[in-house]
Every structure is written in structure tokens, then in C-alpha cells.
A and B are shown apart, each in its own frame.
Chain A
């Protein structure tokens, strides 16, 4: 009965390998071979570190992480503050980086908030479904979200918001309260138009009708759809998609790597990726159901929701059915911070799988 863990590791490994394959295919420096400067070289390096983390959390108990969740929370808030003060900007002018563009604290903030909310809600389990806890937890989620918003990184704000809402949902809050909350957010969201920056407004308009301005604000969406569409059923083959190789596709390493992948491997390749994603998600939630400990259950199911949301938004925007926000595709997109966070999380899930299986076996015996 150790099969589920093997399957999980296999799925995760496949995702990582496909990620490296995809990054390699869009790497402008790949002709210079494997090296610390090439994108795929770094991606492999991050994978090595990431898998070390995976094993670490797989074989060592991580209960202490929950006990110190306040510390992680404060650290993340602190580092997000540091980004705003000392951070370095990227091409778009947003400040998202620390340590000469090697660390993206907003990625770690996701995990920190995840731990914090799991631990906070489960400690206050008796107050679940009370308005006061809702307001308090909202406050705690809002602090890092606001800091990320100031960077600005709308995508991560969205992810943090979904984490919080997901926590309420999984915490068993009454449907009416959640409905009210959703209604409130929905009715207030048009107001966000007024605090959005110009480029963000353009993105929203481009999402509504990308072909309006295919060379301007709709460019990303249009080019991404062209890339996916021209892949056809079987794709144009590895390293030979014109959209990708001639660099029509923007953000090929990160946000639009799914499109680059589909251009090369077609509908079949895309379906393989999607299937791996849904398998991953399914195993994580299945595990959450089996875990007896409440905070671990919160953790596992929230991690699943975090994963699902990011995949949904990223693939959705690649396919032109979700607005363009800078959310990376877990395991596949180029980028160390995101990869480390997700591999660490996956390691913990693997441990939970292993433990639940053992508990079940003990009970069986």
C-alpha cells in the first residue's frame, strides 16, 4: 500500500522534468551548453536544491513548523517590507526581488501564510464560524497582501486572498457567511479599477478583447493563443515552435511557459501536463482527507488549493480565459523561489502520505 506515495513522487518528478525540458527549449543561451548562466542550468540547480528540501521534509518531522508559524509569518512580513525598502526592480518596474534578484520573498510569503492560517485556525478551532475570528484572520492575511500589493504584484495578492478565503472555506465556515463575503468582494471589485495602475487596466481590457489591440496590450494573450493553436494535436516538435523560437511569445520562461510547451508538444503534451497537475492536486486533497490532525489537514488541503489556483490562473491566462497576472506555473515555470516553495510543500505532503498510510496499516494490523 505504499503505491500512493510512489505515484505522488513520480508525478512531481515528471512535472519538474517537463519544466526543465520546457525551460531548455526557450533558453536563449542553450547553445552555450550547460552552465550557471543558462536558464535551464539554473533550473536544474534549483531542482537539486528543491529536491533536497523535499527529502528533508519527507524524512524529518515538520510539526515544529506549525508551532513556530508566528515566526514564519513575521519573517515573511518583514522580508516583504524589506523588498519595498531595499528591493530591486525588474523590467516592468515592479520591486519584487531581494539579494540581487535571486530571492522572491512573495513566493515564501505564500507558504508562510499557509502555515500561519493552518495553525491559527486550528488553534482557534472552537471559534471557527464566528465573525470575530473571520475579521482577525482577514487582518493577518491582509498585512502581507498589502505589502505585496505595493510591489506591485497583483497575482500574488490574488493568491494570498484565495489562501485566506480557502482557509475559511475549508474551516467549515457557514455557506451564508462565505456567500456574503463573496458578494461583498464581487460588488467592491469594480472599485479596484480606480486603484489599478494603467498597465493593469490595459491587461483587464486586453483580457476582455485581446484582438482589439493585438500588437499592443493584447499582444501577450494573442501570441500565447497563437502558440498553443499552432501546436495542433501533436505539436511542432521539441525546439521547433516558431512562436517560441522566434520569440514572438513573451515571458516564455515564466508566465507563458505553458504556451511554449504546447506549441512544441501540442494538445497531447498539454493534456499530459494538465493530467499531471490534476493528479497532483487529487493526491494532495486525498491525503488531506486521510490526515487526522486538523492543522495538517488544513495545511494539506490549503496547499492543494494554492496549487490548483495557481495552475488554473496560469494555464487559464495562457489559454486566454483568465486575465494576465504574473503567476508562475508550479514546478514548470523558470524561477528558484517558486520551485523551492512548491518542492518543500510537496515533501511535506509526501511525509503526510507516508504517515497516513502507516497509521492505516497499523490500524489494519
Chain B
């Protein structure tokens, strides 16, 4: 067979293979587009106004709650787990909301400081308390937060504690203070958070400053600590949520981390512990708010009212291992999972809660300046 004959045969075959592959691709893609478009069409047609469209973080709810809610209220739930990162999500919705355009959502769950920014910008609709009797079930220390006094615009979805997540086998002892994270014995095996408020709060508490009253000079001092320990190799990495797998895999001894992550990891590795530093820790909440363009306040309130039932909240706690903001959840949880209900990670007592702080709400300008300082300190 000459070179040319062989070449043409090869071309023909590849050509036909390409056509086949192309056909499969287009066919498959077309089907996929059709089916998702179909779902969209039936959604907007059949559901009309009696739907609640929710955006939340991935795996932040149990599998039963959405469908039980539908059965109970007759309101359809369109639940999307598309919140990957506060800043990324904000970048997506900020401008549409500013122009009064719909973002196709009735409830969004973002971390408290980001919800504060949205409240400042006027993007959050005031909640209709008349449709929300279970609002009274909100725990006391989250009722009158500085960024949303009286909870006019937001309600916590779940709370968590920021503290030290560590591997007992690597540290050799139980940790008690933030100074442990700066201990040279753990050089290169320590991580901090990319979340500015989480990291700077713990450092400021260690420096004797209350985050609720931090000044720019305080923030700068905390950032200097970050720079020092980054350049001398103490801090191995600044992580978002991936400190969890670093801990699990043994790459890291101590991390600034969150209570729910450790509670989830402990199943895999009982040596992983969580400690709230003696100087103090941080209490954060991921909060639900209703975008101002939603126009489905009754449906949104129905959802909030439902998830503020203790037994529902208990279910969510079981699935996510974070702290419920609903009073009576511990009792409800004790019926189904007493061990979990007694776990202080999921159910911190009042003494512990007293040691938890919150970062003071910032203005737009302050936020920008402090964030820039922090990112430079992190080496980005």
C-alpha cells in the first residue's frame, strides 16, 4: 500500500469517526440542553408564583427538608447549591441587583459580613415578620447583631465557631491558646484562613484587642503578625476550606478552622480536635436574606418559618454538623442522636458562647482598605 493510499484511508476513517463523535456530542448535548430547558419551562409555567428559589452553599442542608417543606406548604422548592464563595457570588449578583434586575432567587445564604455589605447596598428586602412566627425561636446572642439590629433583613441559617482545628497526634498535646499556632515547634505545619475576619480576629484577640472595636491601626498590627509568620515559614498556607483535607491527610498540624468541618472530619479520624483559644474565638453565621427583586416574600417567609422549627433544624444539624440558630434544637436532636446533641461542637454551652466574638461591621471603604492590607500580608 502506498503512502498516499494509506493516507486517504486514514483520512476517511478519521473523518467518519469525527462525524460519529460530533453526532454523539451534538446529540448528547442537545438532549441535555433539551432536558434542562424542559425543566426550566415546566418550572416557570407550572410553578408560577408559588415557588421559592433558594441559593445555598453545597451540602448545607439534609436530603429531606426541601421535599418535606413542599409537602407541608404546597410551595415548590427550587434549591440550588451554587454559592461557592462569598466574593464570587457577590460579583455575580451585585450589578443585576443594583439595576433592579431579578437574580432568579428568593433566598440566598451568604456569610454574615457579606450579607452586611448587601444590606448596606440596599439589596436586601425587609423581612415580613407577620409571616414568620418562628422568628422568636432565634437564639438570643444572634438576635441583635451589630450589622442587622433586630434582624430586619437577615436570619441565620447555620452558625459555626472559628478556632484552632488540630491533629492531636502531631501536636502531642491539647491546644489551649492561639500562641500554640505560633509555636516554632510547628514551623511549616500551620495554616491560617484566607477569610480576613477569621484570621485577624483570632490574632487581635491574641494581641489583647477586641475585634468588636478594632481600629485601622489594630488591623495593621494584626497584618504585620501575618506577614512575619508567613515570611519566616511558620505558616505553610492560607486556606479557604481546603485546610480540612490538609488536616485529614496529615500535611498540617494546626489550622484556623471551623467547628462544623472538624465535626465532619472526626468520623474519619478521631485524633482531629477543635479548640476555641483561651483568648477567645469567633462566632460566624451564614445568613439567609431575601433579594430586593424577589417579590415572593410569603414563600420565602414560609421557608424560613419551616427551617426554624427545632425538629427541622435538628435534621439539618445532623447532616451538616454546624450549630443551629434555633432554640430547642438540642432537645429535638437528643431524641434522634443523643451523642451528637451532647457534642459541644454542635451545641456549645453558654460559657463557651460567652468567649466567642464577632468582627465589627465595616464600611465599604474600610473593607476595601483592610482587605487589601490583608491580602498583601498573605503574599497575594
B and A form one assembly: no
